[in-house]
Each structure stands twice: as C-alpha cells, then as structure tokens.
C-alpha cells in the first residue's frame, strides 16, 4: 500500500495499523465508461424503484453519503460527506475476513470494495463491489439509530470467537466470488469452487460465535426488512444494491419472519436469492436481539466456558482477569475445580500482557516468547482477593520486594520465590514477578522451575472475559489473517477498448451537450462490432427520446432492444426496466 490516505476524515485517521493493512487505493482512473454506465443504470433503477420500497431515509441518505446517479463515487467525496455524520470510508480488495470487517464498523468506517460488477452481473454479484458497499450501505448510515446499531455490532463482532473452519469458508467464498466476476473463468474451475463452498458450508461442525453472529449480520445489515410484516420496507444493503432481488424479495414466495434471536438458527447462501427474510419493527429491536446474543458470548461469560472456546479456536485470544490484567496468546490449557471455577491458565508460544488494551512495558511477545501460565483465584485462608489487598496487607503476606515468600492458593497451587516486583494500577494488584521461583500444583507437579527464569504471576480471582484477538493488537503486531487470492483486474483487448470509447462518446454528449447527429455513427459501430450490447444502445435511445430528435434512428434502436428483450430472456427485465425509465425519468436533482 502506498502512503496512507486518511482523506482528511477523523474516523479513517483513527484506524489502527492492523486494519490499515487491508486498505487499497481506489484507482478511480481504472473505472471504464462501461463501469460508469453500469453504476448509472443501477442507481437510476434503484431510485425509481427504491423510493417506494426502501426504508424512508434511503433517498436523502444518498446525498448525505456523497453519492450521485451519474458517476461511480470518489472516496474523497464520500469521506467529505460521511465525516459530517461521524463516519468514513476506505476501499479494500474484495472480501476481507469477517473479524476485520466487524472491527471497521466499530471504528465507524465503511469498507468498500474498489471493484465494480461487470455488465453481465448488473443485477447481482456474489462478490462485494462498489455498488453494494456504497449504494447499499452508505445511504442508511445517515439514520442515527441504524448507524448506532452498525457500530455497536462491529464492537461486539470484533470480539467474537472464530474457528479454523470459518477461515476456510471465508477463503472458499472469496475464491468463488472472484471467479464469478472473471469474464473468462474456466467452467470446471468454477464448478470446483462452488463445490468447495458447498462442502465447507456442510462441514463447519458446531458453528462458532463468529459464524452465528455473521448470520445476524446477514439477516439485518445485508438482507434486513423493517416495518410491519405484511408491508415491510428494505434497509439491508444486499437488497438495496440488487436491482433483481430488491423486487423479487417482496413477492409472497419469499417468506417474511419477525426478527428475533431465532434468526441465528438460519444459515445463508451468498450465491442464491434468499428463501426467507426477517422483518424488524424498529432498529432498537436489532440492538435488543444483539444484546441477547452477546450475553451468550465468551467475552461476557468468561470463565471455563470462554477458555474452552479459546482453546478450540487455536487462534490468538485474550483472557481478562478480574483485576483487569489481560493475557493474550494461543491458549493451550486451563484447569477448573469441582465447582467449575478456573484456577490455572496456560498459553503456548508468543504471549503478551496488557491493561485496558494497552500492552504493559516489558511484557510483549519477545519477552513471553515461550508462553505464559499463572494461577487464578484466592489465596487459602484469605477472604479478600489478592488483587484487592492494600500495600500493608501485601507486606503482612510477606510480599516485600527483595524478600522470599510462599503463597498457597485455594486450588492447592503453591508459589515459592523471591519477590522481584509488584505491579499495581488503579488500586488493583495486577502482577507479581518472582526470581528463584517454583510453582507446584496440589499433586506436586512442577508448573514452573527456577531454571526457567523470572516468574510473572498474574493476579485475579476470576477470568471475567475471553475474546478473540490480542488486547493490544498493534503492539502484538497482529497481522489479521489475509487472503492469498487477489481479485481479478482485467486487461482489455482492442475490441473492448473500442466499446469503451463508444460508451464514452454517449457519456460526453449527455454531460456536455452538443450535436446528437454523431450518435448515429456510435449506433452503427455498435451494430457492426458489438451486436450483443444493450446498455449503450439504451443510453443513446434515452438521449434521442428526451430531446425528441432523430425519430427514425430512435425507432430503429427501440426495435432492436424490444427484439432482444423478446428473444433473449436474460435481458428481458433489464431492457424493459430501462425502457420504462426513458418514459419515466428519475429526478436526478433530488440525489445529486
């Protein structure tokens, strides 16, 4: 990535390094005249149709997000507009991992795929593209209740436990979406990619917190409806950006279900229209359902439940002691007593200690390179937790710098050694460092040997929270899992470049005015070399019709389009909808 561009937007500027790694330059100059025509067609259709079925802030929201009908949005213009409502936007390369996507939302930054769908996927693409991300997500951001939900969802999603299977499914979906957007994709390769996604979906095992949370995200942020069950409005970005499914989703065959926590039971397939959708009465209901689910998550439950999920995850996780000390690393084991209370935790490999998501000086991965282990719980015979003991009470225990002591925990773990240092913050004891230290469990097994060096003992009565990722991600130098597959960037042959030039000539005439006579030449070149094209023909007809000139040429083009719609079913709706908008033009001044 080149020098980081924050667009003068404070939300983008505040992004941490581990999220900045996904940002790519938009390269606005790479968008072709055909790309702009695809954007314009979809936006005009959206405006015409969605003004009646979208949740009411959608149309004024286009303005507030810095979007126009006429051209693909420029990230600088979007950031100028979004900054006024406390949000920002960045471009990325296709699908990014769910955990990173969620965290961007927590920072109130929209993640926008820089690419745009091809003309033959104009109605819908499984790949994230700038139509979906900006025309879908951005307009609803203007609604305060909704963007509060979105950022809150992100903050919870960023802590969700994920599994190895989640990553494998992410990779499979990303690979399939890239293939589907390639104009010359091999049919066999595409079939294998589809089979891989299907296999991954069927072999996920017990769904992780992230997998379940992704379902709630899908049925709300992407495919949500709001209002009353028999007459809902669209607010989900997947529907708002699909000129096909935004219409078909309102049909009776698509079941409408009240949105409750039960939505978490419904898996989804990104490659197919949705068989059911969920209707929320209000955005507050979305927050209520999210709260219900969050109460089941490891970051709120902590204890043995949270640690069991961390061990299963095999990813970097963080356990939070009741003292507020945070231990980050790959958790290898934990021990619990007969009551289910955790009394020992252990990580393997590089680990780090933090407080309030800031790494403690001298306690990073290089220092704790071989892992970290520590008791959890109270000292035997002491009702007051060790974390809450005053300086005087610590001295009575023999915890005095430079002196030897022995600590016996209720679990039977015994710590014997010389006190090197005691770390306390905000009236909480966090960490005691020992030299010449031996740690044994109740059976006499050695948990730490003096020859291993300094023993840093975490202090805390309980593990109150466990979440995925490091506490201080940037200090941990956490490179969030990043795909090895890149999105497809086409190179154009001479024939395609000629088509781009024809589209540009029509665009120039619409934007700059002037003589319409040469559009006949554009039409003849389309007929001669690009007979499959329908969108450029539609744009020429729109200009001729609106200015009421060249009636014979207009009639010829109309006949061509009507024949194509009648004889080629895949174009019927696209052309019919386009012809409808020529007779019922959108009032662009309302959204420009």
The string of pLDDT tens digits covering residues 504-542 is 999 999 988 877 778 999 999 999 999 999 999 999 999
pLDDT at residue 240 is higher than 70: yes
> Based on the domain organization, do 445 and 567 belong to the same domain?
no
Confidence at residue 62, expressed as pLDDT on a 0 to 100 scale: 85
Cβ–Cβ contacts within 10 Å for residue 332, how many? 15
Q: Count of domains in the chain?
A: 3
Average pLDDT, the chain: 90
pLDDT at residue 403 is higher than 80: yes
pLDDT at residue 410 is higher than 60: yes
Confidence band (pLDDT; 50, 70, 90) for 197?
A: confident
Is position 276 within any domain?
A: yes
Is position 193 within any domain?
A: no
> Based on the domain organization, do 377 and 446 belong to the same domain?
yes
> Based on the domain organization, do 283 and 385 belong to the same domain?
no
Q: Which domain covers residue 331, as residue numbers?
A: 298-468
> Based on the domain organization, do 401 and 320 belong to the same domain?
yes
> Based on the domain organization, do 341 and 430 belong to the same domain?
yes
Confidence at residue 484, expressed as pLDDT on a 0 to 100 scale: 56
Is position 31 within any domain?
A: yes
Q: Are the C-beta atoms of residues 342 and 303 closer than 8 Å to each other?
A: yes
Confidence band (pLDDT; 50, 70, 90) for 12?
A: very high
Query: Each residue of 352-371: b (16+ CB within 10 Å) or e?
Result: bbbbeeebbeebbbebbeee
What confidence tens digit (pLDDT) does each residue in 338-357 have?
A: 999 999 999 999 999 999 99
User: Among residues 291, 326, 355, which one ends one of the domains?
Assistant: 291
Separation CA 566–CA 348 (nearest Å): 66
> Based on the domain organization, do 265 and 332 belong to the same domain?
no
> Based on the domain organization, do 380 and 256 belong to the same domain?
no
Is position 55 within any domain?
A: yes
Confidence band (pLDDT; 50, 70, 90) for 1?
A: very low
What confidence tens digit (pLDDT) does each residue in 19-59 have?
A: 998 899 999 999 999 999 999 998 898 888 888 888 877 77
* Residues making up the binding site: 132, 137, 222
> Based on the domain organization, do 355 and 258 belong to the same domain?
no
Q: How far is CA 543 from CA 392, 504, 521, 528, in A?
A: 86, 14, 14, 21
> Based on the domain organization, do 121 and 68 belong to the same domain?
yes
pLDDT at residue 398 is higher than 70: yes
Confidence at residue 95, expressed as pLDDT on a 0 to 100 scale: 75
Is position 481 within any domain?
A: no
Average pLDDT in the 106-135 region? Answer: 84
What confidence tens digit (pLDDT) does each residue in 434-481 have?
A: 999 999 999 999 999 999 999 999 999 999 999 999 999 989 975 555
> Based on the domain organization, do 118 and 79 belong to the same domain?
yes
What CATH number is given to the structural domain containing 504? 1.20.58
Confidence at residue 591, expressed as pLDDT on a 0 to 100 scale: 41
Confidence band (pLDDT; 50, 70, 90) for 203?
A: confident
Is position 413 within any domain?
A: yes
* Residues making up the binding site for Fe cation: 132, 137, 222
User: Among residues 275, 291, 307, which one ends one of the domains?
Assistant: 291
Alpha-helical segments (H) within 242-301: 245-248, 283-294, 298-301
Percent of the chain with pLDDT over 90: 67
Confidence at residue 204, expressed as pLDDT on a 0 to 100 scale: 64
């Amino acid at each position: 990535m080149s020098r980081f561009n924050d667009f003068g937007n404070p939300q983008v500027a505040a992004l941490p390094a581990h999220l900045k790694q996904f940002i790519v330059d938009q390269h606005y100059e790479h968008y072709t005249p055909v790309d702009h025509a695809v954007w314009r067609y979809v936006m005009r259709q959206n405006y015409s149709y969605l003004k009646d079925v979208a949740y009411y802030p959608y149309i004024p929201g286009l303005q507030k997000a810095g979007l126009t009908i006429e051209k693909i949005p420029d990230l600088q213009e979007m950031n100028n507009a979004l900054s006024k409502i406390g949000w920002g936007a960045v471009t990325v390369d296709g699908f990014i991992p769910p955990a990173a996507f969620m965290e961007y939302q927590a920072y109130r930054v929209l993640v926008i795929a820089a690419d745009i769908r091809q003309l033959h996927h104009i109605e819908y693409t499984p790949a994230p593209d700038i139509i979906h991300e900006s025309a879908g997500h951005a307009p609803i951001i203007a609604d305060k209740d909704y963007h509060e939900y979105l950022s809150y969802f992100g903050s919870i999603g960023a802590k969700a436990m994920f599994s190895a299977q989640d990553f494998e499914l992410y990779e499979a979906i990303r690979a399939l979406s890239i293939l589907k957007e390639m104009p010359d994709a091999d049919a066999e390769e595409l079939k294998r990619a589809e089979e891989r996604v299907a296999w991954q979906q069927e072999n996920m095992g017990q769904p992780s917190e992230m997998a379940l949370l992704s379902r709630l995200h899908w049925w709300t942020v992407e495919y949500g409806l709001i209002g009353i069950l028999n007459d809902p409005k669209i607010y989900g970005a997947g529907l708002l950006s699909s000129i096909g499914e935004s219409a078909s989703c309102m049909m009776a065959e698509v079941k409408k279900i009240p949105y409750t926590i039960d939505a978490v039971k419904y898996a989804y397939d990104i490659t197919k229209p949705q068989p059911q959708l969920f209707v929320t009465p209000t955005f507050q209901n979305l927050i209520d359902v999210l709260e219900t689910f969050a109460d089941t998550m490891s970051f709120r439950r902590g204890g043995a439940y949270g640690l069991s999920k961390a061990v299963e995850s095999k990813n970097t996780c963080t356990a939070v002691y009741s003292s507020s000390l945070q231990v980050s690393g790959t958790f290898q084991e934990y021990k619990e007593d007969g009551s289910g209370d955790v009394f020992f935790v252990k990580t393997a490999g590089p680990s780090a200690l933090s407080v309030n998501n800031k790494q403690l000086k001298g306690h990073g991965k290089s220092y704790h390179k071989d892992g970290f282990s520590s008791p959890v719980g109270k000292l035997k015979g002491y009702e007051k937790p060790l974390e809450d003991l005053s300086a005087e009470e610590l001295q009575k225990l023999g915890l005095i710098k430079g002196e030897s002591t022995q600590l016996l925990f209720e679990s039977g773990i015994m710590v014997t050694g010389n006190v090197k240092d005691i770390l306390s913050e905000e009236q909480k004891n966090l960490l005691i460092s020992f030299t010449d230290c031996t740690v044994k469990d109740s059976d006499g097994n050695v948990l730490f040997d003096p020859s291993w060096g300094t023993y840093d003992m975490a202090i805390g009565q309980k593990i109150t929270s466990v979440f995925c990722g490091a506490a201080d991600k940037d200090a941990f130098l956490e490179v969030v899992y990043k795909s090895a597959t890149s999105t497809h960037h086409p190179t154009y042959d001479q024939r395609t470049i000629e088509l781009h030039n024809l589209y540009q000539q029509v665009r120039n005439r619409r934007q700059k005015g002037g003589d319409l006579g040469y559009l006949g030449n554009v039409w003849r070149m389309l007929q001669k070399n690009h007979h499959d094209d329908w969108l450029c023909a539609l744009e020429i007809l729109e200009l001729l019709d609106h200015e009421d000139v060249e009636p014979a040429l207009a009639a010829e083009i109309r006949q061509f389009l009507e024949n194509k719609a009648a004889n080629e079913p895949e174009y019927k709706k696209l052309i019919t909808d386009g012809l409808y908008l020529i007779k019922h033009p959108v009032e662009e001044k309302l959204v420009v």
